[in-house]
Chains A and B, each alone.
Chain A
């Protein structure tokens, strides 16, 4: 449409009444600079306004009915939890064999009348598999070959079959504990879990089976939970045949262990299942250094690639924790932002503005205090950051890969846990909270579907839904196609006009023959852009090759990676360098912007937060970039501004720098070293994060093309026209 409008321009007088849409399009394209500036500013403002636009959460699914039943978790259960805790601590201090606690859990689970089995697993190293992005099924066979004899973990799993249920659905409780070195807080979380489990084995209202997974977090919580889930959903029937070499001693190990366990009954190593999982709760007790006035609960919800559990799950936890148990609910926030002066200033401005609007119409609810705003922004920032990183914030992430809604609850007591009274009160609260959540989920007749899946949290009880947070992104993205069209049509006009004038030859590279084929010139530019993208894909696959070589330190790996990529880029330049200068930079920029906007829109579907952060970096870079030589021709003041803007954006837009800044803002600059980037990349690909793909397939080529345009050798015809 834009091109059509461009065609119409040379003969303006002849067509005063074309269609409205075309005219509007033409208008937008004609004022592309104004439009892009307005859109970018509006987008940034809308982004800053997100905490103001957040709504209060509400339990959307009526069937959940949180808190409608009286909790059954009583002081009797607390006594049981305490007894279990004591037993664990006795055993834990006596022996460090690693199976003592599993044995204890097993005995208790059987005593309660539930089914028990042990799940053995091998910790698997995170390896880069270039083809495994977005596929949850990884090759477990290969991993088992690599596993050695001594490396294995042992999850203990208890299952309560719902007395009158049909066993089609299950609720999973997970308590990670370190079997090698168990601390008091971990023992306490096990005790809490056991007391809840034994309570649930007695209740009559269960409709879904209950699975309690005491995950052996010796090799990391996530590994334990993930390998259990993998065996639950994709069991490997071939397992025995795959263990010929290394498996024999392993089998002996496990047999020995099961002999040790001596819990009477059959089949404790047979994997048992309990239907489709409705929801999962990971909970643990963490003793914090800083003391607060109330027991607190921290909710972690982000799973891989920015997936979130259904908001209703967080809602019921929040509702029960705040309104029933009087806990203080927290979610992660960026502490560095809490002290930022500029944010406080923005907050105060918004507060003033809110007062003003309230004065105009009391029904407009824009009133937000400065402190609330700052807190909301910090929480929102961490929410966006963790979603964008694409790495789950806890072992609940493993469940989300199998479309199970899961969250991690971290309970932390107000006082020291050594005090018996405090501990009992704390256990009572925690137990009642978890019992309430289970009861709510148990009430659910359907899947979690009623509430939101796409949201950011700005507070435990406030959220920004997808309909609202799309707006800043759409505003940021909107100028890209317009500018691209404007550049393209502008170039086309020039081509036609130069052909008409036909007096001077164009740039060094351009000749008359090329000008005649003007409308196809963009193919040249597209070729360059395509080559750069191809290079980026090769660069993204290099780490796989590198990880095959025995290089150890991250710094060397990073350096080799960088050097290799630069070499390949140079080779590309040598081969295809000739054609790259033929086309004008406007066309190149136009095609680059088109590619970037396509990439950003695609990424917004996969992981919105990455796209949002990426858009904030890429969009100004794409819009502002101009060859430095052309900038030199402008006035002094404008020149300086342009050059400085371009250079800063070019530096910030470099993926490693951007990542380091993001990490620095979130955590600490002190930790950031040269090798940190390699570690970060390793983190991203080992978690199958789409952010890695975005960075290397969209962001990096865009940045290289921007640099290419910045250093463009010829100014092009534009200066002469």
Chain B
């Protein structure tokens, strides 16, 4: 403003020159930042890393890479930064939205948080989860989905193509996303996730893992972590073009430097860490095409509260811990409730090529805090044992954060959405649904506001349950049970060897009343970080339950030979004798016998003896008549027996 006031005194031309110069200067700064000279309108790429210490001595690292491309009409088929494979995928299958996640390990909702943006959008069930929203007529969606699974399976070296069979995917109607008909959802809980999935994912980045933040991704250290979830999220609209978000969430445990002198103190102090010590690598250089490249560091709400109790406020260097380079900017979460402290985010920018940004945190004193929890802790388990039947139980236990919520408003109601897919071989009886609230059985109609069940069909569709519960906030525990029978698989549906059991994919539990959005106080700049913008989106709190293992009756395939021989023998004996009995005509036989005349009955042993003796005689007589063949056979057998005996005795 001061410049303007001054400029009013200057001649008009100067003012004009200045006005022309300001955008040029600004764009010059941008050019410096970008280092590449990409137009603002064109394709953009940004990379960010979000770090957060967790209460159980671990550290959360969340990589966020975002590429955008304007609507395709502008650029045609050629891209500077945006991966061509993805653009083609979007175009060919008319994808509106897509999310693919590969996860190893489980998100610990109790100690890593359940209601912050990271946990509610980036905590995923183990294995592969894929959902896609198509911009297609309903008739074509299933075929397109099949093609899409095959394409993704090739792209990411994973067996996503198993999701093509209609038994493994499903179209949720309202519990997953509200009221969409062209969404398909599938999950493979058993899929193992490893570097072979990471490499193609990294290939989508302009710098791969050669420069920029992605160069931190040292395979041994990120796969050694406690949670590893690699995600690809696509949104494509006519107006904004395609936005590709690639995120990688890892929970790592920093190495503890054991100090024998202060062993007791060491145990209680959180381990100090730095980016280079955790990833065993440094940020090597800048990824030149990246518009922004920065690292965020968050102090959780509860942590800030605890710090303020100790009187340290929001300083990043106090007697409890030190952050090593000084942050460039500080964002504070703006508070809906005044008089309460909130989380703080520090920003660090990866400027220079020669001086790697090595963010580090050094703990000096023991410090304990707890994370922000989801309103209810969800767990799902199997009840019963044996190979016949059982039940699935989903239990919700209220947590601390719910108590806070309670304090805020009285007489409120909690809504809970449950979305559960069950494979067809687990035959769920949906009429057996029972709801217990605080240990008392409730009639289903009282608690359930909305329910949609689509029962499974053998070898065709999985069963799904979409359910909306509504109950008072004061409820401490809710339990739902569903009985099921275990079905029999067809012989070629079993895995080739004896198996561990069959999986039921995780259920998704959503709390529509609770949102995980954050809004930040703008210090002096407007927020242009994609990650923070994403945090500001209004997302509902959701949590996934554990995957379950159902042991089914498995025939012992290792011994089919025994079974075949045994049954064949039994069948032969049975049918042989049956046919024999049916074929016989007793009357005729008797007549035949009578006509033959009375021959004396000889018992079996005398009969055999007499035959034997007659043969012997025949041999000694040495008169081979018609029985010469028999005699020679007998001789042969005798010689063989003698030889065997001789062999044994001589040995």
Complex CA gap A113/B271 in Å reads: 14
User: Nearest Cβ in chain B — how far from A135, in angstroms?
Assistant: 10
| Given known contacts A14-B593, A16-B599, A450-B498, A237 and B481 CB-to-CB distance under 8 angstroms | yes
Whether the Cβ atoms of A237 and B500 lie closer than 8 Å is no
Number of B residues contacting the other chain (C-beta, 8 Å)?
Answer: 67
Is there a chain B Cβ closer than 8 Å to A270's Cβ? yes
- Contact between A14 and B438, CB atoms less than 8 A apart: no
Given the contacts A163-B226, A360-B651, A240 and B439 also touching, CB distance less than 8 Å: yes
In contact, B549 and A13 (Cβ under 8 angstroms): no
Are the CB atoms of A361 and B651 closer together than 8 Å? Answer: yes
Q: Chain B residues near A233 (CB, 8 Å)? A: 383-385
Chain B nearest CB: distance from A287 CB in Å? Answer: 32
Which residues of B lie under 8 Å from residue A163 when comparing CB positions?
A: 105, 225-226
Query: Once the chains bind, are A19 and B126 in contact (CB under 8 Å)?
Result: no
Contact (A241, B598) CB under 8 Å given A272-B379, A360-B649: no
* A670 contacts B by Cβ under 8 Å: no
Asked if A447 contacts B105 (CB within 8 A), the reply is no
| B374-396 near A? 1/0 per residue, CB < 8 Å | 00010101111111000001000
Name the one of A167, A234, A264, A447 contacting B501, with C-beta atoms under 8 angstroms.
A447
Q: CB distance B549 to A270 under 8 Å?
A: no
Across the interface, do A167 and B601 meet the contact criterion of CB distance under 8 Å?
A: no
Residues of A within 8 A of B580 (CB): 19
Flag whether A403 is at the interface (Cβ < 8 A): yes
Determine the chain A residues whose CB is within 8 A of the CB of B434 once the complex forms: 237
Say whether A449 contacts B126, CB under 8 Å.
no
Give the shortest distance, in Å, between A311 (CB) and chain B (any CB).
15
Q: What CA separation (Å) do A235 and B436 show in the bound complex?
A: 12
Q: Counting chain B CB atoms within 10 Å of each CB, which of A136, A167, A168, A363 scores highest? A: A168
A446 on the B face (CB < 8 A): yes
Give B620 Cβ to nearest chain A Cβ, in Å: 28
Contact of A446 among B104, B436, B498 (CB under 8 A): B498
Q: Does chain B have a CB within 8 A of A204?
A: yes
Query: Do B397 and A446 have beta carbons less than 8 Å apart?
Result: no
Known: A13-B599, A238-B436, A276-B501. Contact between A165 and B651, CB under 8 A?
Answer: no
A240:B503 contact, CB within 8 angstroms: no
In the bound complex, CA of A169 to CA of B550 (Å)? 10
B499 CB contact (under 8 Å) in A21, A361, A362, A446? A446
Asked if A164 is an interface residue, CB under 8 A from chain B, the answer is yes
Q: How far is the CB of B477 from chain A (nearest CB, A)?
A: 8
Nearest-neighbour CB distance to chain B for A445, whole angstroms, equals 6
Residue from the list A15, A136, A161 in contact with B593, Cβ < 8 A: A15
Which residues of chain A come closer than 8 Å to B602, judged between CB atoms?
A: 16
Q: Contact: A237 with B439, CB < 8 Å?
A: yes
Given the known inter-chain contacts A166-B126, A166-B189, A276-B551, please indicate yes or no for A241 contacting B104, CB distance below 8 A. Answer: no
Contact B500 A164 (CB under 8 A): no
Is B325 positioned at the interface, with any CB of A under 8 Å from its CB?
Answer: no
Contacts of A240 in B (CB 8 A): 438-440
Q: Enumerate B167-221 residues with CB–CB distance to A below 8 Å.
A: 189
Q: Is A353 an interface residue when CB atoms closer than 8 A count as contact?
A: no
Q: Is A23 an interface residue (CB 8 A)?
A: yes
B423 at interface, CB cutoff 8 A: no
B400 interface residue (CB < 8 Å to A)? yes
Does A21 lie within 8 Å of B577, measured CB to CB?
A: yes
The answer, yes or no, to whether A12 is at the interface (CB within 8 Å) is yes
Q: How far is B477's CA from A316's CA once the two chains are assembled, in angstroms?
A: 42
Chain A contacts of B621 at CB under 8 A?
Answer: none
Q: In the complex the two chains form, what is the Cα distance from A229 to B577 in whole Å? A: 51
Judge whether B52 is part of the interface by a CB distance below 8 angstroms.
Answer: no
A201 to chain B, nearest CB (A): 11
Residue numbers in A under 8 Å from B189 (CB-CB): 166
Q: Which residues of A contact B438 (CB under 8 A)?
A: 240
Q: A residues within 8 A CB of B479?
A: 237
Residues of A within 8 A of B436 (CB): 237-238
In the bound complex, CA of A684 to CA of B387 (Å): 26
* Contact assessment for A238 and B441 in the assembled complex, using a CB-CB cutoff below 8 Å: yes
Question: A267 and B397 in contact (CB under 8 A), knowing A13-B598, A449-B556?
Answer: yes
Chain A residues with CB under 8 A of B603: 27
Residues from chain B with a CB closer than 8 A to the CB of A239 are: 439
Instruction: Name B593's closest neighbour in chain A (CB-CB).
Output: A14
Separation in Å of the B497 CB from the closest CB of chain A? 7
B501 touches A164 (CB 8 A): no
Interface set, chain A 436-450, CB cutoff 8 A to B: 445-447, 449-450
Asked if A166 contacts B547 (CB within 8 A), the reply is yes
A450 shortest CB reach to chain B, Å:
7
Asked whether any CB of chain B lies closer than 8 Å to the CB of A266, the reply is yes
Within 8 A of A (CB), among B436-464: 436, 438-441
**In the complex, chain B residues whose CB is within 8 Å of the CB of A361:** 648, 651
Judged by a CB distance under 8 angstroms, whether A402 is at the interface is: yes
Q: How far is the CA of A239 from the CA of B477 in the complex (A)?
A: 12
Judge whether B600 is part of the interface by a CB distance below 8 angstroms.
Answer: yes
B383 with A235: CB separation less than 8 A:
yes
Which chain B positions have C-beta within 8 A of A14?
590, 593-594
In contact, A164 and B105 (Cβ under 8 angstroms):
yes
Most buried by A among B126, B228, B387, B399: B126
Q: Is B56 an interface residue (CB 8 A)?
A: yes
Interface of chain A residues 226 through 281 with chain B (CB within 8 A): 233-235, 237-241, 264, 266-267, 270, 272-273, 275-276
Is B108 an interface residue when CB atoms closer than 8 A count as contact? yes
- Decide: B551 and A447 in contact? CB cutoff 8 A: yes
> Which single residue of chain A is at the shortest CB-CB distance from B440?
A241
Q: Chain B residues near A363 (CB, 8 Å)?
A: 651
| Cα-based distance from A115 to B111 in the complex (angstroms) | 10
| CB-CB nearest in chain B for A449 | B498
Contacts of A166 in B (CB 8 A): 105-106, 126-127, 189, 546-547
- Does B224 touch A at the CB level, under 8 Å? yes
* Nearest CB in chain A to that of B251: its residue: A163
- Taking a contact as CB atoms under 8 Å apart, the answer to whether B600 and A13 are in contact is yes
A362 and B104 form a contact (CB under 8 A): no
Q: Which residues of A contact B56 (CB under 8 A)?
A: 113
User: 0/1 per residue, A164-176, Cβ < 8 Å to B?
Assistant: 1111110000000
What string of 1s and 0s marks CB contacts (under 8 Å) between B509-543 and chain A?
A: 00000000000000000000000000000000000
Q: In the complex where A237-B439, A361-B651 touch, is A273 in contact with B379 (Cβ < 8 A)? A: yes
- CB within 8 Å for A403 and B397 given contacts A21-B577, A168-B501: no
**Interface flag for B604 (CB, 8 Å):** yes
CA distance A446 to B556 in the complex (A): 13
A361 to B602 Cα, complex, angstroms: 41
Q: Is B362 located at the chain interface by the 8 A CB criterion?
A: no
Q: Which residues of A contact B400 (CB under 8 A)?
A: 266
Interface string of B596-616 (1 = CB under 8 A from A): 001111111000000000000
Given A13-B600, A237-B436, answer yes or no on A113-B57 (Cβ-Cβ < 8 Å).
yes
Hey, which chain B residues are within 8 Å of A167, CB to CB? 106, 126, 546-547
Cβ contacts under 8 Å, A273 to chain B: 379, 381
Report if B548 contacts A (CB, 8 A). Answer: yes
Whole-angstrom CA separation of A240 from B440 in the bound complex: 8
Closest to B441 in A: A238
Whole-angstrom CA separation of A14 from B57 in the bound complex: 96
Q: B321 to nearest A CB, angstroms?
A: 20
Given A164-B105, A403-B387, 4 new contacts (CB under 8 A): A13-B600, A21-B577, A273-B379, A363-B651
User: 9 tightest A-B contacts by CB?
Assistant: A240-B439, A168-B549, A237-B436, A402-B385, A12-B601, A166-B126, A449-B498, A237-B479, A273-B381
Can you identify 24 A-B contacts, CB atoms within 8 angstroms? Answer: A13-B599, A13-B600, A113-B56, A161-B108, A163-B225, A164-B105, A166-B127, A166-B189, A169-B500, A233-B385, A237-B441, A238-B436, A240-B438, A241-B440, A272-B379, A273-B379, A276-B551, A362-B651, A446-B497, A447-B499, A447-B500, A449-B498, A450-B498, A450-B558
